[in-house]
Amino acid sequence: MAFREIDLNMGPQHPSTHGVLRLKLAVDNEVVLRVEPVLGYLHRGMEKLWESLTYTQIVPLTDRLDYLASLSNNLAYCLAVEKLAGIEVPRRARYIRVVLAELQRLASHLAWTGFMANDIGAMSVLLYGFEAREDILDIFEEYCGARLTVHGIRIGGAVHDLDGPLVSRIRAVLERIPKRLADIRSLLDENRIWKERTVGIGRITAGEAIDYGLTGPPLRACGVAWDMRKDIPYSSYDDFDFDVPLGTNGDVYDRYLVRLEEICQSIRIVGQALDGLPEGEFKAKVPRVLKIAPGEAFHTIEAPKGVLGFTVRSNGTDKPERVKMKSPSFINLQSLEHLCQGNLFSDVIGILGSLDIVLGEIDK
């Protein structure tokens, strides 16, 4: 039975569109012909809202963008404001930020592994990933009292100091994660079904990936060594010794391997940062009412999803004139149609999952 091209609406309520994304698919039987993402179901007018808030009041709202990696958003925004205001962040604060940001990367990647596996049907991995992530969220709760929308990084530094008990707790968690990871890997890595569902699916070449503006793990899975932490180091990342994992094929399987390897690298970075935690202040002296002379600054970081950037323009008052966000999920989503072309309907879910999008960040 052959039926010609039908339009299929995936979302905004669908089990695996990762939130309220709507995909307009044109499918011929099971083969996908066109994919059109429809956005805006989670639009909250963030960028406009920020114009009516002071620089400090914006920070907790950045938590709500990429809610699986709220500390990365905090960090990117704070770095942009610090660049604009010329605030020098103490070295200890920079290290604490690295610890927090890398823990957040761990949490985000672990959650991704779970979601991705669940999309492809391995439902247990979801729980294993979440179990490991829960340990990290417990650390965040211990550190600043919140688990998801953490608000743990402030302009000029961090919100609290990292004290001894917390450091040893982080170390204990870091030792537990590789065990969990080994379970996940023995469930998925060699599994024939997993490989059939991921190897060679959603391939993109390095050149095309650069043309589409892909960043983060999807770009590195094509073999392009572009990592902000290495290439344009910020927040003392150049003090640490770590590798940038690269893939070769640029398919879903390579994105999976790159993310899992990044988890190992993040564990390394956190360990080094805790070992070399310098003495000093954990927060720079920042005036309570921060007024910044007219100017503009742009700062990017390597967020778990890709290159996250904030442009902040000031006008001399305590509120920004304009804050613009360059969100990695939004830009990575552009390539979806290219990745899905000619694949089967089932693969759309895997490919969408492999891009690791978060709708809070796409719709802003």
Partner 1 sequence: MRRLRRFLKSFFLVDILRGLAVTLRLYFSRKVTVEYPEKVQEPAPRFRGLPRLYRDEKGEPLCIACKLCQRACGTNCFDIEGKRKEGAKFMRPEKFDWKLDRCTFCGFCVEVCPTSAIRFSPEFRLTGVRKDGLLFHRDQMYLLGDDLQDHLCGGCRRVP
Partner 2 sequence: MTPFVADVLIPLGKIAAVILYPMVMVVVMIWLERRVVALMQGRLGPNRVGFQGVLQPVADAVKLFFKEDIIPRQADKLLFNISPVLVMFSSLLAFCFVPLGEPVRIGTTTLTLWIADSPVGLLIVLGLSSISVFGVIFGGWASNSKYPLMGALRSVIQVLSYEIPTGLAVLTVVFLARSMDLVEIVRRQEASGVWYGFLMPVSFVVFWISAVAETNRAPFDLPEAESELVAGYHTEYSGMKFAYFYMAEYAHMVLVSSLVVILFFGGWLPPFQGVKALAFLHAVPGFIWYLVKIMFFLYLYVWIRATLPRYRFDSLIRLVWKWLIPLALANFLVVALVRFLR
Q: Which of 21, 98, 120, 136 binds partner 2 (CB under 8 A)?
A: 120
Task: Calculate ∠ Cα 291-294-298, nearest 5°.
Answer: 95
**Which of 88, 141, 163, 211: binder of partner 1 (CB under 8 A)?**
141
CB nearer to partner 1: pick between 93 and 228: 93
The pattern of x and - marking residues 25 through 54 that bind partner 1 according to CB under 8 A reads ----------------------------xx
Residue the block writes with tokens 């969100």: 327
Nearer to partner 1, 317 or 341 (CB): 317
Shortest distance in whole angstroms from residue 106 CB to partner 2: 18
Instruction: Select the span of 93-101, 114-122, 150-158, 295-303 touching partner 2 (CB under 8 A).
Output: 114-122
In whole angstroms, give the CA distance from residue 135 to residue 133: 5
Shorter beta-carbon distance to partner 2: residue 118 or 235: 118
Question: Binding of partner 1 at residue 318 (CB under 8 A)?
Answer: no
Q: Are 10 and 4 in contact (CB under 8 A)?
A: no
Alpha carbon dihedral 193, 199, 200, 203, in 10-degree steps, equals 120
Binding residues for partner 2, total number by CB under 8 A? 32
* Residue number with CB closer to partner 2 (8 or 293): 8
Residue 56 sits in the site that holds partner 1 (CB under 8 A): yes
When asked if residue 191 is in the footprint of partner 2 (CB under 8 A), the reply is yes
Residues forming beta bridges with residue 28, ordered by sequence position: 31
**Which tokens is 319 given?**
């509120």
Q: How far is the CB of 188 from partner 2 (least distance, A)?
A: 7
Does position 175 interact with partner 1 (CB under 8 A)? The reply is no
What H or E segment, with its residue span, contains residue 85?
Answer: helix 70-85
Read off the tokens for 196. 């059939």
Give Cα separations from 198 to 37, 116, 327 (angstroms): 22, 11, 26
Q: CB under 5 to 8 A by kind: which of partner 1, partner 2, none does 311 bind?
A: none
Amino acid found at 305: K
The DSSP code sequence of 297-351 is: EEEEEEETTEEEEEEEEE-SSSSEEEEEEE-HHHHHHTTHHHHHTTSBHHHHHHH
Give the integer Cα–Cα distance in Å for 361 and 364.
5
Whether the Cβ atoms of residue 181 and residue 132 lie closer than 8 Å to each other: yes
Is the Cβ of residue 141 or residue 231 nearer to partner 1 in the bound state? Answer: 141
Residues between 250 and 269 that touch partner 1 (CB under 8 A): none
**Residue in 30, 138, 141, 231 binding partner 2, rule: CB under 8 A:** 30
Annotate each residue in 177-206 with x if it binds partner 1 (CB under 8 A) or - if it does not, as one string: ------x--xx--xxx--------------
For the four alpha carbons of 230, 233, 237 and 240, in that order, the dihedral sign comes to: positive
| Near partner 1 in 273-312, by CB under 8 A | 288
Burial bucket for residue 179 (CB in 10 Å: 0-12, 13-18, 19+)? exposed
For residue 26, the 8-state DSSP code is E
Q: Does 207 bind partner 2 (CB under 8 A)?
A: no
- Amino acid identity of residue 105, one-letter, is R
Q: Minimum distance between the CB of residue 151 and partner 1, rounded to whole angstroms? A: 5
Q: Are 21 and 9 spatial neighbours (Cβ–Cβ below 8 Å)?
A: no
Residue 149 lies near partner 1 (rule: CB under 8 A): yes
Nearest residue (CB) to partner 2, 35 versus 81: 35
Q: Which is nearer to partner 2, 131 or 281 (CB)?
A: 131
With a CB cutoff of 8 Å and minimum separation 6, the contacts of 65 are: 46, 73, 325, 327, 358, 360, 361, 364
Helix (H, G, I), strand (E, B) or coil at 360: helix
Answer with the entry of partner 2, partner 1, none that 30 interacts with (C-beta below 5 to 8 A by kind): partner 2
Positions that interact with partner 2 (CB under 8 A): 1, 6, 8, 14-16, 29-30, 117-124, 126-128, 131, 187-188, 191, 193-194, 196-197, 344-347, 349
Positions that interact with partner 1 (CB under 8 A): 53-54, 56-61, 124, 128, 131, 134, 138, 141-146, 149, 151, 159-160, 183, 186-187, 190-192, 288
